[in-house]
Amino acid sequence: MNAEQLRRLLADVQSGRLDIEEALTRLKLLPYEDIGFAKLDHHRWLRKGFPEVVLCRGKTVGQVVDILGRLSARGTTVLATKASPEMFAAVQQAMAGARFHELPGLILVNEGVAPRGPGFVLVVTAGTADIPVAEEAAVTAEVMGNRVERLYDVGVAGLHRLLDHNKLLLEADVIVAVAGMEGALASVISGMVDRPIVAVPTSVGYGASFEGLAALLAMLNSCAPGVAVVNIDNGFGAGYLASLISGQTRGKG
């Protein structure tokens, strides 16, 4: 509730169009629906330019179905991340139009609402095993209205694979760089272009990768500036951040 709305509400009180108790209620009326185990944020689309995103990990199948059902009932796109096939099976039964991206474990309900905008997001991976996380980012950016292209398996072990796509790298508005192991991809790309890089460390690797810690630290210490780091394996967060940056959801384009 912004200042303008508050001013109007106060004017209604002053003019008698609104009595005090009702005004109190409205001031307290929160833009969410309380279903006990969750507070559903239907006005999030307005405030953040995107519907509530549901992180499925840690929730029961029943909770996921309940939450997605209520959120999608208003017609906005709903995105559920880290979902299991079992969750999707139950969701599909309740919401006919739900769609599943199996590799990243993404459920989409009411897809296709967001209008396509001018933002161009390029999603790049160091290896094949990084693709599930990359797809989480790519689908998220697509849902938020961006043009998305994928450039997979171009890690620094064979630098020419990356250098060869120099033109593509230069055209993107923002680049999502997804890499596990030593995570050098983000630094190298950031040294090549003047675009913001959203760096996603992945838990791909073993031993002293410490479940993605090595890649995370590397990306945080990039010698080339312009690298925005998100959490390990956080493909959704990367896609979301890339969309904010590309300007698509802010109506600037």
Question: Which residue, 60 or 97, has its beta carbon nearer to a second copy?
Answer: 60
C-beta of 95: minimal distance to a second copy in Å?
19
Q: In the bound complex, what is the minimum distance in angstroms from residue 224's beta carbon to a second copy?
A: 4
Q: 78 or 232, CB closer to a second copy?
A: 232
Which CB atom, from 75 or from 191, has the smaller least distance to a second copy?
Answer: 191
For residues 110 and 140, which CB has a smaller minimum distance to a second copy in the complex? 140
20 binds a second copy (CB under 8 A): yes
**Cα angle at 67 between 65 and 98, to 5 degrees?**
55
Least Cβ distance, residue 171 to a second copy (angstroms): 11
* One-character DSSP codes across the chain: --HHHHHHHHHHHHTTSS-HHHHHHHHH--SSEE-SS-EE-TTHHHHHSSPPEEE-TTS-HHHHHHHHHHHHTTS--EEEES--HHHHHHHHHH-TT-EEETTTTEEEESTT-SPP-S-EEEEEESSGGGHHHHHHHHHHHHHTT-EEEEE-S--GGGHHHHHTTHHHHHH-SEEEEEE-TT-THHHHHHHH-SS-EEEEE---S-GGGGGGHHHHHHHHT-SSS-EEE--TT-HHHHHHHHHHHHTGGGT--
Q: Answer yes or no whether residue 113 interacts with a second copy by CB under 8 A.
A: no
Extract long-range pairs of 28-34: CB within 8 Å, 24+ residues apart: 33/70
Q: Which stretch binds a second copy (CB under 8 A): 31-39, 70-78, 90-98, 108-116?
A: 31-39
Interface residue with a second copy among 61, 94, 168, 213 (CB under 8 A) is 213
Among 91, 120, 241, 248, binds a second copy (CB under 8 A): 241
Q: In this complex, which beta carbon is closest to a second copy, that of residue 95 or of residue 185?
A: 185
Tokens of residue 191, six digits: 């040294």
Among the residue ranges 68-76, 83-91, 108-116, 154-162, the one whose residues contact a second copy (CB under 8 A): 154-162
Q: Which of residues 44-103 bind a second copy (CB under 8 A)?
A: 44, 47-50, 53, 55, 57-59, 63, 67, 82
The tokens of 205 are what? 């690797």
Q: Which of 5, 10, 85, 86 binds a second copy (CB under 8 A)?
A: 10
Shortest approach of a second copy to residue 28 CB, angstroms? 6
Site map (CB under 8 A) of a second copy, residues 171-210, x = contact: ----------xxxx--xx-xxxxxxx-x--x-xxxxxxxx
